[in-house]
Structure 1
């Protein structure tokens, strides 16, 4: 990673703000009715969405640095005309977001690369799948009702296999079961796992963390995995080989992740498995990463 590159997060308007009412108009009455609704309500401030707190905390980190190191951009299926309400709401909340792409109903994922985004968050699963297929870190924001973490520190939690790491071990689990998975992780304990779709994003967070004393970092990260001993060793050695910092590592051995994510105070959690995401969303803001064998048709079972 170039040291002069900012950490860039691209976000859709429905991930940033609560657009459920206008989206229902779109689904029930069509595009023209949606456009009229947005224009008629453009002076009404939108309520924060699931990823609002994440964005607010990311941008606040810039105020602790000599020069901005983080940028948030808007990638929206709105038109510029209907998107005026979104920018009015951005101004109302004092969010320092100035760059945007409005695509009038088309998928905006083609603009992720030109903007240099390290992460794409959207409520549109199709856009997220396209982004992941193109090699970008991306997640579908799920409906979530938990209270925002009141701490000023930004806390981000990640699943391991198929998120930070490749799904190579997950494939062995699904093909041969837990015993085959465990035996493989023991025999390959000193062989680092390949990187998954969120490796580069974690590395970008790590670079921001290094700009602060370790005990004063505005960012705290956690690995929250269903792995337990002895399958933990390969994960630890992989992160060590990558020279990437992870602040907390929870090896849960199959326990429900939700309560632990709540205890960590995650502003967002990323996982590839939909059932883990649905459980986590009862406790914290959650992004589903539709990547790897767990998201192939007819796949069943779980290790991570």
Structure 2
């Protein structure tokens, strides 16, 4: 099938999202920078175990086996120095990951390099870097701790929340400020008016371009919308995706039910959501990225500021 894709999907990922750096991070937290430096050098040849987002990255890179020209490029962004970062590069080679580009910032924010590399998606364990990336217009999420097993299926499965992730938070604001009845009435009235795109719309568009190179039956990527919306608020979400001319493979309208079990049923390699309560449910079952976007996160940030002042 013909594709309009002219550039690869660029994914920037932090070393703590890609590999399990728990032990070395504990050394840093408990003993300081110098002890961390010595620990990393002493363990330079000890392979790092896969982290939360490792399976996602592995499957993304496997997409390059499908075409002569690369479909995906993965960039490593790390707050390590080049010296301590050598262990990370050794782990990349050990696991056979086709990652050749990286930026090591020696403790500084990695976010500027996500922009410089032209990243469509930025995944990090550092919430501040993620927030900065979102402010720069990059789809970004904080990878949350999880002990779930990776999805062993061959295809890549990515699930998204709707409001404040794929869509803007314009409808969510009505729900938070005026309640469920007002939200429902607004969505019925605006059912044929497409929602504005949210921070993850461009990333979904890039996935759609890759999918367009395959038939629906042979595509190595499967996407899902997993939303707390239920009927009748479902119609506007469906019509929005139709207006964008974006393919979504599965849509799950939960009407407020807990999301975790449904994400497990979908076998998501990762799920993106703006609300912490949904992320907490999700990370018990699948790898999860918190997207600090929308009104709920503005409220949380304001609450933290108030707590600090009081």
- Match for residue 166 of structure 1? 168
Residue 297 of structure 1 deviates from its aligned partner by 2.9
> Is 1:88 matched with 2:114?
no
Counterpart residue number, 1:12: 14
Q: Kindly provide the CA deviation profile for residues 30-50 of structure 1, in whole angstroms up to 9, marking residues without a partner as x.
A: 111111111110100000000
Residues 69-101 of structure 1: CA distance to partner in whole angstroms, max 9, x if unpaired? 100000110111100000100001100000000
- Give runs of aligned pairs for residues 117-132 of structure 1, distance below 5 A: 117-132=119-134
Unaligned runs of 5+ in 2: 304-310
Instruction: Indicate how the Cα distance of structure 1 residues 132 and 2 shifts in structure 2: closer, same or farther if over 3 A, else same.
Output: farther
Deviations 1:227-279 (A, max 9, x none): 00000000000000000110000000000000000000000000000111011
Instruction: With the length of structure 1 as denominator, give the TM-score of the two structures.
Output: 0.97
Is 1:267 paired with 2:295?
Answer: no
Report the Cα distance in structure 1 between the residues aligned to 2:149 and 2:110, rounded to whole angstroms: 30
Equivalent in the alignment of 2:143: 141
Name the Cα RMSD after superposition: 1.2
**Higher mean C-alpha displacement, 138-147 vs 290-299:** 290-299
Using the TM superposition, give the Cα deviation of residue 2 of structure 1 relative to its aligned residue in structure 2, in angstroms: 6.8
Q: Deviations over 1:42-76 (max 9, x none)?
A: 10000000000000000001011121110000011
State which drifts further: 1-10 or 34-43.
1-10
Deviations 1:84-125 (A, max 9, x none): 000100001100000000000000100112211100000001
The equivalent residue for 2:99 is 97
Q: For residues 12 and 37 of structure 2, what CA distance do their matches in structure 1 show? A: 23
Secondary structure of the corresponding residue to residue 216 of structure 1: coil
Q: Distance in 2 between matches of 1:282 and 1:212?
A: 32
Residue 26 of structure 1: aligned partner: 28
> What secondary structure sits across from 1:296 in the alignment?
helix
Q: Superposed, which structure 2 residues align to 1:175-214 within 5 Å?
A: 175-214=177-216
* Cα deviation 1:170-223 (Å, max 9, x = unaligned): 100011100000000000001100000000000000000011121000000000
* TM-score after normalising by structure 2: 0.95
Structure 1 counterpart of 2:260? 258
For 1:123 and 1:2, locate their aligned partners in 2 and report how far apart those are by CA, in whole Å: 33
1:108 aligned residue: 110
Aligned position for 1:53: 55
What corresponds to 2:307 in structure 1? none
Structure 1 counterpart SS, 2:83: coil
CA contact (8 A) 2:279 2:289 kept: yes
Report deviation, 1:3: 2.7
Of stretches 50-59 and 291-300 in structure 1, the one that deviates more from structure 2 is: 291-300
8 Å CA contact retained: 2:74, 2:99: yes
Aligned mates of 2:180, 2:6 — CA distance in 1: 44
